[in-house]
Chain A
């Protein structure tokens, strides 16, 4: 579904992403792990188009998306969430989601008809809110939500674009155990319809969710394999997992 070939990005003298090849298959939860500063978020930015790549190619659903603009990638079915929560803070939860639904249903160069009367938008926004457990908070302003709820809204905004593949950049960052559990359940539920590329530091979540895991160190992918194989991989243990699994 998503296929990266030889993708690179350098910032001045620093090679953040170094000749990365990566494939995400339909229906797969593919985890991307690695120490801080390994280049995971840079890679997510490249895939979503918010950072231009220096070299390499990206194909998504048989289309070359290397030069495609970010909003067109979203329309092609490639959505993302952010590591640092990025929501419409002064909008209500319902309006946040309705806005994301609106983006893919008909033109928004419409100037006369009040959007409030478009029940279809809000019905779908409500059903997405229900999916992520925000049904009780529909009329709350996004800025007033608890941290975990904002993280859920963040993921919900990506899902509301009805993607084929969703890039989740540390969806559980800063979440308590209860909230993490709910997020894991959510990802389990959506995997039937959406492929997931998951960047996450919570190894428990990663090993419970992932079909395959890619390990990134210093901009390079050092391994891609099934979770049980990754656990055994000597290079990976040395570079990253070692301490945690040895304990």
Chain B
């Protein structure tokens, strides 16, 4: 299928969806779809380092959670303007990625996975221990961020703002991946030794890629804090990192739509099997059918769902 057409259809569905739900009087699903869009952004940021850069970060929740907490803490301190708190969330997440990346990227393979996981867990315990900001219990936000002149408590306004931001981020990623920088990142994934041997300072490229990814995860974090009007340490827990990773693997590692597709499918499956009458009393065990489907995807579509639909094998 033509790329422009695919993108157009996806965008069309995303634009019409809340209107349809409104007509069907299913307002819950507008909020649910917003959550999916936010996770799509976070998963896309992970896919940049994992799929394109070949850096298997198992600590991406650190940046996601840090972004969320910055918005929560600023709101708690009385700063609710998104013109302040969202850039702050992005900046702090980027700084965290710079610090963590500068150390972690000196390691390879399993060691990189473990050290990113360790750093994320350290951040998790930092936020758990911050009693002033709720500690274990987290923080409730008095309201969604302000500054646009419209109330973001309106689910429609909120949905379309998140959708617009996701589309902007995806477009930026699209440009980045086709640029010189993007080519170098993929070359490093393919063969780091050779990338060095043709003259690229590999570490700098990897670190910058890691920081860009962390910054995007930070923005997604700022959005999730607004989405639920609550931030808690669970946002930084390693299970959250794992969830993002599963989304990327499910959707397609190193596939442009991999992150978003994975977010849609995983969250939709969770919703389908957990809350619904589909499984009756067994819906408590929703992880089982979701797990079986994940297993099937990994076995029968190792390139992920986006990969299975692509013409060109990679």
Instruction: Give chain A's interface residues, CB within 8 Å of chain B.
Output: 48, 50, 69-72, 74-75, 79-80, 82, 86-91, 95, 99-100, 102-104, 107-116, 118, 157-158, 160-161
Q: Given A86-B191, A88-B191, A109-B208, decide whether A115 and B178 contact each other with a Cβ distance below 8 A.
A: yes
Residue of B181, B197, B314 near A111 (CB, 8 A) is B181
Residues of A with C-beta under 8 A to B202: 71
Q: Residues 174-204 of chain B: 1 if any A CB is under 8 Å from the residue's CB, otherwise 0?
A: 0110111111101100110110111111100
Asked if B183 and A71 sit within 8 Å, CB to CB, the answer is no
Residue of B nearest to A98 (CB): B183
Q: Given A86-B191, A88-B191, A91-B190, decide whether A108 and B184 contact each other with a Cβ distance below 8 A.
A: yes
Asked if B178 and A116 sit within 8 Å, CB to CB, the answer is yes
Instruction: Give chain B's interface residues, CB within 8 Å of chain A.
Output: 175-176, 178-184, 186-187, 190-191, 193-194, 196-202, 205, 208, 314
Residue of B178, B199, B208, B314 near A103 (CB, 8 A) is B199
13 contacts between A and B (CB under 8 A): A71-B200, A74-B199, A80-B197, A86-B194, A87-B194, A99-B198, A103-B198, A108-B181, A108-B200, A110-B179, A110-B181, A111-B182, A114-B178
Q: Give Cα A107 to B21, complex, Å.
A: 49
Q: Given A115-B179, A161-B199, decide whether A90 and B190 contact each other with a Cβ distance below 8 A.
A: yes
Residues of A with C-beta under 8 A to B181: 108-111
Q: Give Cα A87 to B195, complex, Å.
A: 9
Q: Give Cα A115 to B181, complex, Å.
A: 9
A181 to chain B, nearest CB (A): 26
B273 to chain A, nearest CB (A): 36
B199 to chain A, nearest CB (A): 4
Q: Give Cα A64 to B179, complex, Å.
A: 35
Residue of B nearest to A142 (CB): B190
Asked if B179 and A113 sit within 8 Å, CB to CB, the answer is yes
Residue of A69, A104, A111 near B179 (CB, 8 A) is A111
Asked if A158 and B208 sit within 8 Å, CB to CB, the answer is no
Residues of B with C-beta under 8 A to A107: 180
Asked if B183 and A99 sit within 8 Å, CB to CB, the answer is yes
Residues of B with C-beta under 8 A to A100: 198-199
A4 to chain B, nearest CB (A): 19
Residues of B with C-beta under 8 A to A70: 196-197
Residues of A with C-beta under 8 A to B196: 50, 70-71, 74
Residues of A with C-beta under 8 A to B194: 82, 86-88, 157
B179 to chain A, nearest CB (A): 5
Asked if A103 and B200 sit within 8 Å, CB to CB, the answer is yes
Given A88-B190, A114-B179, 4 more pairs with CB closer than 8 A: A79-B197, A91-B187, A110-B179, A116-B178
Asked if A102 and B183 sit within 8 Å, CB to CB, the answer is yes
Residue of A48, A50, A74, A115 near B183 (CB, 8 A) is A115
Residue of A nearest to B202 (CB): A71
Residues of A with C-beta under 8 A to B182: 111, 115
Asked if A111 and B187 sit within 8 Å, CB to CB, the answer is no
Q: Give Cα A90 to B200, complex, Å.
A: 18
A65 to chain B, nearest CB (A): 14
Residues of B with C-beta under 8 A to A112: 175-176, 179
Asked if B199 and A115 sit within 8 Å, CB to CB, the answer is no
Q: Give Cα A76 to B208, complex, Å.
A: 24
B149 to chain A, nearest CB (A): 30
Asked if A99 and B187 sit within 8 Å, CB to CB, the answer is yes
Residues of A with C-beta under 8 A to B314: 90
Residues of A with C-beta under 8 A to B198: 74, 79, 99-100, 103, 157, 160-161
B48 to chain A, nearest CB (A): 12
Q: Given A74-B199, A80-B197, A103-B199, decide whether A111 and B176 contact each other with a Cβ distance below 8 A.
A: yes
Residue of A48, A71, A87 near B191 (CB, 8 A) is A87
Residue of B nearest to A101 (CB): B198
Residues of B with C-beta under 8 A to A89: 190-191
A75 to chain B, nearest CB (A): 5
Q: Given A89-B191, A157-B194, decide whether A71 and B180 contact each other with a Cβ distance below 8 A.
A: no
Residues of B with C-beta under 8 A to A82: 193-194, 197
